[in-house]
Amino acid sequence: MPTIRARRALPPRSLVLPATAALLVALAGCSDTPAIPDADPTPTASPLFASEEEALKAATAVYEEYLAIGGAILQDSGSAPERLEPLLTEEIYEDELASIETTVAAGERWTGSLRLTGVKLQQYANDASGGIELQMYACVTNEDVRIFDATGEDVTNPDRVNLGTFDVVVESTSDGRLVIAQRDYWSEGDECAE
C-alpha cells in the first residue's frame, strides 16, 4: 500500500510579504556599504527674545502703546488714526478704523485714558524663522474715561463695568516688529491676578 505523506503547509500569503520585508530590513544592517550621512539640519534663526519673560515685557509695552494711542485718537475726535497702524495687523487695524469712525460719527469724544492693570501669559512660541507668537490676558480699567456727546454732555454709562480682561495675541512681523494680531473681550473683572 502506498504511503501517504502529509504535505508541509505553507504560511498564508498574507504573512509572506511582511516576513520578507522584515528579513530584508534585518539584512540591510549587515551591508558593507557605508551609511549616507544625514544632511545638516536647516539652521534656525535666533529667537527675538531670550526668555518668555522678556517677550511678555515687550508684548506688554506694545499693548500699553496701543491703549495710549487709541485713547489719544478718541480724545482728538478721531484725528490721525493711522498712528495705530504700526502696532496692529492689517485686519485688526481695519477693525479699529471702523470702530473709531463709528465713535466719531456719533459725535462722541473721550477724556481720560484706558489703563493696563496687569497681564498674564497664556502661551508663548518661537518659530523656526525666529518669530514669536504670544498670547496673554490683558486686564484694562476704564475708570478714568468719560464719554461726551456732540453737545458736551457726559453720556458715560454709570453702570458700566470698569475692569475687564482681554485675550490678546501679539506676533512678530518679518522685520522683527511686534504687532497685535488679536484682542477680544474675555470677561469682566481681573483674570490677570495670580
The amino acid sitting at 121 is L
* Whole-Å CA distances, 121 to 53, 131, 132: 9, 17, 13
The pLDDT assigned to 33 comes to 53
**Residue 133 scores a pLDDT above 50:** yes
Question: Helix, strand or coil for residue 127?
Answer: coil
Confidence of residue 34 (pLDDT cuts 50, 70, 90): low
What local confidence, expressed as pLDDT, does residue 123 receive? 95
> In the predicted model, is pLDDT for residue 14 greater than 50?
no
- Which amino acid is present at 141? T
Q: Rounded to a whole number, what is the largest CA-CA distance in the chain?
A: 123
* 3-state SS assignment for residue 21: helix
Q: Output the average pLDDT for the chain.
A: 82
Residue with more model confidence, 49 or 164: 164
Mean pLDDT score, 35-53: 67
C-alpha grid cell, residue 141: 480699567
Residue 164 has a CB neighbour count (10 Å cut-off) of 20
3-state secondary structure of 120: strand
Statement: residue 11 has pLDDT above 50: no
pTM for the full model?
Answer: 0.74
Residue 49's pLDDT is what? 81
pLDDT at position 2: 42
Position 25 scores a pLDDT of 39
Asked whether 110 and 142 are in contact (CB, 8 A), the reply is no
Looking at residue 42, what is its pLDDT? Answer: 57
- Report whether CATH 3.10.450.50 matches the domain 52-188: yes
